[in-house]
Amino acid sequence: MVGPFGGNTAAVLLHAAQEHPERLGEPVALTVNFAGPVADGDFTVTARPMRTNRSTQHWSIELSQDGVVATTATAVFAVRRDTWAADEAVMPRVPAANEVPATAMPPFIKWADNYEFRWVVGGIPQPPADGEAPVESDDSTTTMWVRDMPPRPLDFAALTGICDSFYPRAFLRRGTALPAGTVTFTVYFHADAEALAGQGSEPVLGTARAKAFGKGYFDQVAEIWGADGRLLATSHQLVYFKA
């Protein structure tokens, strides 16, 4: 939470595959593993198509600095075709984005300046006053309207970053900031490029929660919804923490 933003690293790796001359179709899945910190400075991204089938393509992607691997990733691209379709998950019932005030993250979270957050439930806990105990919660759910700042049209890279823009769920449960960092992060893209473009630069609705915390790790399950009620992406991550 105090280093470089993993969602941005993930977006850079995905984009490397998207821009590769052998790329087939568009992203349907991305998994990024944060193996080590990315330092300020030059980095090299290598995207390799591992296998290309008739309508799917599997990628292996790596980010390294000075010959040391910092991030690994795999991605699945596909040519998507119309089929039977249904959203089974239900969008949370929330006020419209313009009815929810935008709230800044604490200033130590630098990357958050690239987003506008409108928390519906589960905003980031405020530091307890001197001598006060943190206010714990038994529910790790955050639901928020979110968009890039400055606003830009939604695409796969932007949506990838948004999937990782929830502050760590352990902060909410424990009522305080604590050491935490994502070790692996997955996005499933339910929307295709056309559906994403249709979202423009309006806020999207994100909701995230954890299912289990223990022995140094917790998970996060997230959904990102368009303002029009379409499920754009689902995302999962496993996060290291100390508490």
49 closest CA partner among 79, 21, 15, 12: 21
226 closest CA partner among 195, 207, 204: 204
User: Which three-class secondary structure state does DSSP give residue 233?
Assistant: strand
Q: Kindly write out the interface string for residues 178-197 of this chain, putting x where it contacts a copy of itself by CB under 8 A and - elsewhere.
A: -----xx-x-x-x-x-----
Q: How far is the CB of 112 from a copy of itself (least distance, A)?
A: 24
Q: Kindly write out the interface string for residues 93-132 of this chain, putting x where it contacts a copy of itself by CB under 8 A and - elsewhere.
A: ----------------------------------------
| Among 127, 128, 216, 229, contact with a copy of itself (rule: CB under 8 A) | 216
Assess 140 for contact with a copy of itself (CB under 8 A): yes
Residue type, 39: A
How is residue 158 annotated by DSSP? Answer: H
User: How many CB atoms neighbour CB 223 within 10 A?
Assistant: 21
**Burial (0-12, 13-18, 19+ Cβ within 10 Å), 122:** buried
The token duo for 114 is: 């690239």
Q: How far is the CB of 224 from a copy of itself (least distance, A)?
A: 11
Assess 176 for contact with a copy of itself (CB under 8 A): no
Q: Which of residues 47-86 bind a copy of itself (CB under 8 A)?
A: 50-51, 53, 55-56, 58, 60, 62, 68-70, 72-74, 76, 78, 80-86
Question: Closest CB to a copy of itself among 25 and 123?
Answer: 25
Q: For residues 212 and 193, what is the distance between their CA atoms, to the nearest angstrom?
A: 33
Assess 89 for contact with a copy of itself (CB under 8 A): yes
How is residue 168 annotated by DSSP? Answer: P
Question: Closest CB to a copy of itself among 72 and 114?
Answer: 72
DSSP per-residue codes, 17-58:
HHTSTT--SEEEEEEEEE-SPPPSS--EEEEEEEEE-SSEEE
Assess 227 for contact with a copy of itself (CB under 8 A): no
CB proximity list for 17: less than 8 A, separation 6 or greater = 23, 27, 47, 49, 59, 61, 75, 77
User: Which three-class secondary structure state does DSSP give residue 171?
Assistant: helix
Q: Is the dihedral of CA 187, 28, 7, 186 positive or negative?
A: positive
Question: Closest CB to a copy of itself among 106 and 216?
Answer: 216
Assess 150 for contact with a copy of itself (CB under 8 A): no
Assess 20 for contact with a copy of itself (CB under 8 A): no
The token duo for 239 is: 């996060």
Assess 210 for contact with a copy of itself (CB under 8 A): yes
Q: How far is the CB of 116 from a copy of itself (least distance, A)?
A: 26
The site for a copy of itself (CB under 8 A) is made up of 28-29, 31, 33, 35-36, 50-51, 53, 55-56, 58, 60, 62, 68-70, 72-74, 76, 78, 80-89, 138-140, 173-174, 183-184, 186, 188, 190, 192, 209-217, 219, 221, 223, 231, 234, 236, 238, 240-243
